[in-house]
Amino acid sequence: MRVLFIGDIVGRPGRAGLASMMPELRDRHAPDLVIANGENTAGGLGITEKIADELFDMGVDVITTGNHVYRHKQVYEYLDRSDRVIRPANYMAGNPGRGHTIVPAGDRRVAVVNLSGSVELRAARSPFPEADSIVERVGRESDAIIVDFHAEVTSEKVAMGWHLDGRVAAVLGTHTHVPTADARVLPGGTAYISDVGMTGSRAGVIGVKREQALDAFRTQMPVKFDTADEDVWINGVVVEVRSDGLAESIEQVLVPAS
């Protein structure tokens, strides 16, 4: 079974880029399941029901999120209702949405789990014991587990890879919007990458127009950010999952959108 995971889709340019490339990605990788991080899909921050539907129409099966998930109030009720859009599991228990979902992929059941790092990001509980309890719970109901670890620092991400090695098919880092060069299958059989990267404009600064981002850094004054739109790239990974639920391989997908 092959899983295509798409890194943080940023704004309309990212959505349009992915829409144009999905047929080619499907041809090339023949995924049985497509997961995308959608925390930046709505104007660069957050997600809405309409945009989630747009991604589903493109062929995305499950949408993960992260720290920007609650940007738009209208989405809260949808997050409670949807079993295809998830938010980090270690947020406050009473917050809208759920932290994992189990979906069919071919003749298998795949659990998709979203976790947030707790270093430099706000999370209600440590992701490590949270990962233990979810993996134990969903392990009984699924054939493979894919984790989107939405975290800021590489140390916490690498640690999570080792923490879950041999227990899940993949630990895939998101949030920094910059792909890392460390994709590999760990010795226990878990595919790992510190950050998948971003699906959006490479001409900006992690998705924002570069003149505005530079202004903010140069002046240290508040600046209104718009989504960058030139030179859109798809950043993702393809994980081949064996019949035992662990990973055979992980391959980066870094392609310009045409």
Catalytic residue check, 100: no
Smallest distance from Fe ion to CB 143, Å: 29
Compare residues 69 and 145 and give the one whose CB is closer to Fe ion.
69
The two structure tokens encoding residue 66: 């992260």
Residue 156: which residues within 8 A CB-CB, separation 6 or more?
Answer: 117, 118, 119, 127
- Give the largest CA-CA distance in the chain: 55
Compare residues 120 and 244 and give the one whose CB is closer to Fe ion.
120
Smallest distance from Fe ion to CB 15, Å: 14
- Rounded to the nearest 10 degrees, the angle between the axes of helix 127-139 and helix 154-164 is 30
Can residue 118 be called a binding residue for Fe ion (CB under 5 A)?
A: no
Smallest distance from Fe ion to CB 4, Å: 18
Compare residues 82 and 116 and give the one whose CB is closer to Fe ion.
116
Start-to-end CA distance of the chain, whole Å, equals: 27
Q: Do the beta carbons of residue 199 and residue 8 sit within 8 Å?
A: yes
**Per-residue binder mask for Fe ion (CB under 5 A), 197-226, x = binder:** ------------------------------
Q: How many residues bind Fe ion (CB under 5 A)?
A: 6
Q: How many alpha carbons fall within 13 Å on the CB side of residue 24?
A: 11
The two structure tokens encoding residue 22: 């999905």
One-letter amino acid at 88 equals P
Compare residues 66 and 127 and give the one whose CB is closer to Fe ion.
66
How far is Cα 39 from Cα 32, in angstroms, rounded to an integer?
A: 23
**Per-residue binder mask for Fe ion (CB under 5 A), 12-41, x = binder:** ---------------------------xx-
Can residue 8 be called a binding residue for Fe ion (CB under 5 A)?
A: yes
Residues that bind Fe ion (CB under 5 A): 8, 39-40, 66-67, 175
User: Which amino acids are annotated catalytic?
Assistant: 68
